Amino acid sequence: MKFIQAFHHVFGKKGDVRVFFAPGRVNLIGEHIDYNGGHVLPCALEIGTYVVARKRKDHLLRFYSENFSATGLIVVNLQSLLFDEWHGWANYPKGIFQFFKEQMDVELTGMDLYYTGTIPNGAGLSSSASIELVTAFMINEMFSVNLDRTTLVKMAQQVENDYIGVQCGIMDQFAVGFGKRDQAILLNCDTLSYLYTPLPLQQASIVIVNSNKKRELADSAYNDRRKTCEKALAKIKQKQSIHQLVDLKVGELENVKSLLTSVEFKRVRHVVTENERTKKAVELLRSDDLSSFGVLMNESQLSLRDDYEVTGFELDSLVEAAWQHPGTIGARMTGAGFGGCTVNIVKNNEVSSFVHEVGQKYESKTGKKANFYVVKPSDGVKELTEQVE
Ligand code: GLA
């Protein structure tokens, strides 16, 4: 297995290793509503993060990433796992180790860990949830902690919130933890109840397009959106007894308008309508109506562009180019926004012309090259026991 050879090259050959994998995710619809208790519809991807792991007899954690090979080896002691800017990417696994040690009281030993990932960085396909979950799952298995998947998923979210400092919802970690081949996951982010939904993709494909616009400052803008929603909720609660924003019906929006600033109102309108769209979207998929599903994806994009204001020039240009293509059934940004990727449903026989034409239009408008990935819904985090190439 090539990862094991690479591990041996960095850490030496002595001792048994185990290999784990966690996918990235793409969200089909239901954006920016997980932290408002809404419904989301992500699926896990075939691309993701691998870790090759071996226990040590001392208390050292030695981290190496093929993707950040210039950084070299990062060595920390289990006694000092605080966030350290200098440790860059390794803060994600460090945060997970710290959680097991401090919150779960698990007796850990040192480890040698070789990471390698196939998710493009900063593209909004959840490379961070992927590295968090692969680490949490690996520790859970190798130290026989016996936590269930939901606990691991919540742990990863908490590390992202408190250790990394991004106030994300539960969607990414859940999709990475619970993904299933050929299925999307309809997740109620309030109760964490979920249903697998098969996708009627006999004649069409999911195409992810990376705008290659890095998500700079995205984390602070993300936290800012979340705060606005909390503020709006507090104001509405003084007049109407709701538990969270998605408890409002579309028809009730006008009643709360006067309580809110115009920006708050737009944010709330996105949240409420997006939740409705997601629930409707699942019914459409169940009745094999992919083209109406596509229409909802397009409406989601408009709402994210005009009401939630998280798209930006590159994502808008990419989606508009997709909308102009005859093979497109639906197109929208996916993930947090402010850069990153779009998700598109494209007729199978039009995929290559889509790649060509959308790529060209996007480049001539923005000067940036887009990358295209035809993807399939895939399994969640797991141990790899067979040959991996
Ligand atoms: C990021 C967050 C998720 C979710 C999406 C937007 O991916 O990590 O929790 O809020 O943005 O839907």
User: Which pLDDT belongs to residue 214?
Assistant: 83
Q: What are the tens digits of pLDDT across the range 147-157? A: 999 999 999 99
Q: Are strands 204-210 and 183-188 parallel, antiparallel or unpaired?
A: unpaired
Task: Map residue 43 onto helix, strand or coil.
Answer: strand
Is the alpha carbon torsion for 162, 46, 335, 368 positive or negative?
positive
- Mean pLDDT within 94-115: 97
pLDDT band (50, 70, 90) for residue 2: confident
Alpha helices in 243-289 (DSSP H): 253-256, 262-286
Domain 2-197+378-387 CATH assignment equals 3.30.230.10: yes
Residue 250 pLDDT class (50, 70, 90 cuts) = very high
How would residue 220 be classed by pLDDT, with cut points 50, 70 and 90? confident
Indicate whether 167 pLDDT > 70.
yes
Q: Which of 32, 187, 334 to mutate to test ligand 1, by most ligand atoms within 8 A of the CB atom?
A: 32
Domain 200-375, classified CATH 3.30.70.890, yes or no: yes
Residue among 26, 128, 172, 185 to mutate when testing ligand 1 (max atoms within 8 A of CB): 172
Question: Ligand 1 centre and the CA of 191: distance in Å?
Answer: 17
User: pLDDT tens for residues 171-219?
Assistant: 999 999 999 999 999 999 999 999 999 999 999 999 999 999 987 656 7
4-37 pLDDT, tens digit per residue, is: 999 999 999 999 999 999 999 999 999 999 999 9
Phi/psi of residue 246, nearest 5 degrees = -70, -5
Is it the case that residue 387 has pLDDT exceeding 80?
A: no
Pair 347, 374: CB distance under 8 Å: no
The binding-site residues of ligand 1, defined as CB within 6 angstroms of any ligand atom, are 27, 31-32, 34-35, 168-169, 171-172, 335-336
Q: Boundaries of CATH 3.30.230.10 in the chain?
A: 2-197+378-387
Would you state the pLDDT for residue 389? 46
Q: Is the pLDDT of residue 305 over 80?
A: yes
The answer to whether the beta carbons of residues 57 and 110 sit under 8 Å apart is yes
Domain with CATH 3.30.70.890 in the chain: 200-375
142 has pLDDT over 60: yes
Give the residue-averaged pLDDT of 44-69.
97
b/e map of 131-170 (b: 16 or more CB within 10 Å)?
bbbbbbbbbbebbebebebeebbbbbbbbbeebbebbbbb
Residue 388 has pLDDT above 60, yes or no: no
pLDDT of residue 325: 98
The model's pTM is 0.96
Cα–Cα distance measured from residue 126 to residue 47, given in angstroms and rounded to the nearest whole number: 10
Segment 60-82 shows an average pLDDT of: 96
